[in-house]
Amino acid sequence: MNYFAGIDVGSTAIKVAVVNETGDIAGVHVTASGSLFHKNSLEALNMLLSNLGLKRTDIRYLIATGYGRKLFKEADDSISEITANAIGAFEAGKAFGGVRTIINIGGQDSKAIQIDDTGNVVNFAMNDKCAAGTGRFLDVAARNLDLDLEELGEYHFKSEVAPLNINSTCTVFAESEIIGLLANGHGKAEIIAGIHYSIASRTVRLAKRVGIEDRVYFDGGPALNKGLVAALQDELGRELVIPEHPQTTTAFGAAILARNEFEAEQSLVPA
Amino acid sequence: MTNETSKVIPIQPVSYSRSRQAGESQDVLDHIIDDFQDNPESMQYFYDLFRSVYCHGDEIKHEGMLVGTTCIQAPEELIYAFGATPMRLCNGSYHYDQKGAEFMPSKSCSLVKATLGMLNSDNVIPKIGKPDMIVNPTTCDQKKKSSSMMGDMGYKVYDLEFPNVKESEASRQYWQRSVRQFATELRQLTGRKLTKKGLQAAFNKTGRAQAAFRKLHSYRLLSPSIILGKDIFLVTNAYFFDDITRWTEKVEALNVELEARKQAGFKAVQSKAPRVLFTGSPPIFPNLKLPLLIEEAGGVVVADESCSANRMLYDMTAVDEWMVNDMVDSLADKYLKPCTCPIFTKNEDRKRRLLDLVKSFDADGVVYQAFSGCQVYEMEYRSVAEAFNQAGIPMLYVETDYSPDDKGQLSTRIEAFLESMKNRKKQKQRALG
């Protein structure tokens, strides 16, 4: 059987997805990017292959995406993460009755993508330059609060008062703002809820720039954070579709594209 | 107090060509030349020109008095008619942008900061010498307010009054008076008279340059493209400071080469390369960041609507009566009527021009650049986006400045935009087939 892979070399994590001939997910793997992008990418791919009991030659087509896509020379082709994300969300969204708007929050950027009913990108927006409202922001906040990143979600719901306002958009300034709030005796839960709402409202502004249609698909690592999901849903006033593996949607999209490209190339070969 | 261990370390002079400022230009130029294949041979003149002026800091010579201009709305024909040489001062260097940020608000636009940063510098590159006068059209707010700053730096500045409304007859008359007043000022500066002959010669000079540009422009209609946008921007940027007659000859030579390319069926890009119309804040060397990212990612800039290129050279003067006063009025009209600068209250003409360019150049999409802090381009984005949206033409809006630090993010956005255009095209073809 032929398999196809997508590898998403992101700023914070490397995500790999493998699909079979029918486009079903065979497996996914996520690992930290570290500083050795290329070495860690290769290891992540090999790890997934050995987990699945596959050989490198079973992968007939491999597409790289994400910030490190150009560095990964082992790939057959590369594609921008916006297109890959759109393809992945379109495919994964079918199970939920189809999606037209995608919100992605990554390690160092956030995006809103609008797709048409065939999965093509119609419009998109990306945050400018700085890390405001991205996964990095959550990372910094968790460190300030002496918590693990995974704990932020549950703390969100522990707050008994209204979420605090976090006004700084700059991640570095927000850090000092959080320290200030702690020094004033505020509890962790209300600060965390405030952080989630601050990210959510920035993200909704971004999404409104591209136009929000139909169901909204939310992916990227921060979509694992249930507190952030609740805040985003509240700000958006709409239901969110959260896939089973929110981190690997883009890698999955690249794998689907790899499958499609392979088929297109095969059909060109005269029988 | 000195002793043997402490001493004052004298400044070690660094030659210009080894400075970081020269390095900035060097990098961009190397990129333009070496990272692309099949550069036209006639482009060598322009590559050498930029190497000499920006990387080596060679002097630029000029005839008569030197009149610096801070905007394309300054009628250069009038300056030539008085035997003086116009020199466009608008600057594209990140180095000067940072120099300007030392005394200008940090949120002002890169172009204005860089231009003032350059004028305030001890070592002005391009090395043009001190202008005898700077003519500063009162177009956007930041340029308006630059006037007194340039005055404080010791330059003789003339404010050329420019209207905010384009359509009204009052504006037209106001602007014509303003241009006549400018002629009076030039007479005082140069001590020469404005003659029909002098003005006619100036019209011929710029007319020939424009004709060469229009011809060059027409080769961009071809699909697949036979010349890349990065070269066109270099050619039009050279017009800022190069001797106009020599510039015209070199463009004519380029046109001859392009005609041969056309006859030979030459392709400068892949046949499926997305064709992009570029609009908004002007790309000025060495800040060709966005056009270069587009072409690196496999797109091609086939036309532009910007004041550093197309808008500067496209429109010609239409004279009814060949009498001096009437000629000056016709000249004024040429600078007002076709102008699509966003400083005007309404800008239906810009939208019309853009839609027309997309159609005639068969563009697949539009990239709209707004320099952070350039309010008029930022605000006008909405109505332009709406017009394209209605026409079903995709557009990418990019807010950026001269700093190279957003290149990584921008390249992702541009690649995604080009990919979506390619998909759209494929789908259209499938639907037709």
Report the alpha-carbon distance of residue A19 to residue A130 in Å, rounded.
34
Place of tokens 């720039």: A209
Same domain assignment for residues A105 and A233: yes
Q: Residue B389: left (phi > 0), alpha (psi -120 to 50), or beta?
A: alpha
Are A234 and A160 contained in the same domain?
yes
Pair (A214, A151) in one structural domain: yes
Give the span between the Cα atoms of A143 and A105, in whole angstroms: 19
Same domain, A103 and A232: yes
What is the rounded CA–CA span in Å between residue B314 and residue B309? Answer: 8
- Number of folded domains that form chain A: 2
Asked whether residue A114 falls in the same domain as residue A189, the answer is yes
Q: How many other CB atoms sit within 10 Å of the CB of residue B105?
A: 12
Residue B414 CA to residue B396 CA, distance in Å, equals 8
Q: What percent of chain B has pLDDT over 70?
A: 99
The answer to whether residue B285 sits within a structural domain is yes
Query: Cβ of A79 under 8 Å from any chain B Cβ?
Result: yes
Which residues have CB under 8 Å from A61's CB, separation 6+?
A4, A5, A76, A258, A259, A261, A262
Query: Chain-wide mean pLDDT for chain B?
Result: 94
- Identify whether A87 is part of a domain: no
ipTM of the complex: 0.77
Kindly tell me if the per-residue pLDDT of B342 is higher than 60: yes
A109 in the same domain as A201: yes
Q: A129 vs B406: CB contact, 8 Å cut-off?
A: yes
Domain co-membership, A180 together with A54: no
- The domain tally of chain B equals 1
Interchain pair B409, A124: CB under 8 A: no
Task: Report chain B residues whose CB lies below 8 A from the CB of A9.
Answer: none
Contact assignment for A129 to B405 by CB distance below 8 Å: yes
Residue B289 lies in a domain: yes
In the numeric block, the tokens 């390249």 are attached to B411
- Contact flag B406-A124 (C-beta cutoff 8 Å): no
A188 in any annotated domain: yes
Q: Are A72 and A100 in contact (CB under 8 A)?
A: no
pLDDT at B1: 53
Task: Please indicate, yes or no, if residue B182 is contained in any of the structural domains.
Answer: yes
CA distance A111 to A109: 7
pLDDT at A128: 67
Judged by CB atoms closer than 8 Å, whether chains meet at B409 and A126 is answered as yes
Task: Please check the confidence at residue B230 and state whether its pLDDT lies above 80.
Answer: yes
Q: pLDDT tens for residues A25-38?
A: 999 999 999 889 89
Supply the CATH number for residue A174's domain: 3.30.420.40
Q: What is the pTM of this model?
A: 0.87
Contact call for residues B284 and B277 (beta carbons, < 8 A): no
List the single residue in B394, B409, B419 with the smallest CB-CB distance to A109: B409
DSSP string, B269-286: S-TTPPEEEEEESPPBTT
Q: DSSP for A117-184?
A: TTS-EEEEEE--SS-TTSHHHHHHHHHHTT--GGGHHHHHTT--SPPPP----SHHHHHHHHHHHHHT
Look at residue B286 and tell me if it is in a domain: yes
Structural domain includes residue B3: no
Residue B2 pLDDT: 53
Domain assignment present for B10: no
Q: Is residue A70 part of a domain?
A: yes
Q: Are residues A104 and A222 in the same domain?
A: yes
- Residue A94 is assigned to a structural domain of this protein: no
pLDDT per residue as tens digits for the range B83-101: 999 999 999 999 999 999 9
Nearest CA in chain A to B414: A80
Give the angle subtended at the CA of A228 by the CAs of A223 and A234, to the nearest 5°: 115
**Residue A167 is assigned to a structural domain of this protein:** yes
Q: List the B275-280 sheet strands across, edge first.
A: B300-305, B275-280, B365-371, B395-400
> Residue B278: inside a domain, yes or no?
yes
Count of A-B CB contacts under 8 Å: 45
Does A198 lie in the same domain as A105? Answer: yes
Listed in sequence order, the residues at least 6 apart from A155 whose beta carbon sits closer than 8 Å to its beta carbon are A147, A188, A189, A192, A193, A227
In a shared domain, residues A126 and A191: yes
**A83 found inside a domain:** no
Per-residue pLDDT tens digits for B165-209: 999 999 999 999 999 999 999 999 999 999 999 999 999 999 999
Q: Hey, what are A234's tokens? A: 């509240």
Task: Say how many CA atoms lie within 13 Å of B251 toward its Cβ.
Answer: 29
- A32, A70: one domain: yes
> What are the distances in angstroms from CA B412 to CA A177, A231, A245, A251, B287?
32, 28, 23, 16, 19
Domain that includes residue B345, residue range: 20-432
Over 60: is that where the pLDDT of B52 sits?
yes
Domain that holds residue A187: 99-238
Q: Are residues A47 and A138 in the same domain?
A: no
